[in-house]
Amino acid sequence: MIFTRRAITHFAALPLLVCVLLTLPAGWLVAQTQAKSTLNVHITGFRNAKGRISIALYRDGKGFPSDSSNAVASQRLEIDPQTMTATAVFKNLPQGAYAASVFHDEFMTGKMEHNAMGIPQNGYGFSNNPEARFGPPAPEKAKFFVNRAESTIEIKLFYW
């Protein structure tokens, strides 16, 4: 077999390449996938067990808190009449920052009801339970992080 000078140079570089690859951090060459989590949202503070609960999760401020078409996940839940609570479970959620909004759809209309003065007639709440008497909070006030295999947050409903 005849080796050219160029082929010999390439073969000589091979041990160097192997050494570099062996010193890389573990998993560097494996395709990186985003970690997934389960998020449990426990909702409390119901004034009655009528209707259903609507909950929506947002990854950014777009549409927060009321445009569920921009939500990354949403659920409608029954209220447990014994404990007057509800729990939403979101599985396989990519880890990262979220904000959640909840409203108690007592009248089963599928939307937040307001009186003539614009005051909400349904119970509502947000992640981190920020003060929201004069309009919805900024998404930053409701932001929380899902960064473990399983996370739990609690949202307390507010009624006028």
pLDDT digits (tens, 9 = 90+) for 142-156: 999 999 999 999 999
pLDDT digits (tens, 9 = 90+) for 37-47: 999 999 999 99
- Domains of the chain from N-terminus onward: 36-156 (2.60.40)
pTM of the complete model beyond 0.85: no
Backbone φ and ψ of 73, nearest 5°? -160, 150
Alpha carbon distance 153, 126 (integer Å):
10
The answer to whether the beta carbons of residues 146 and 91 sit under 8 Å apart is: no
pLDDT of residue 14: 53
Q: How many CB atoms lie within 10 A of CB 75?
A: 17
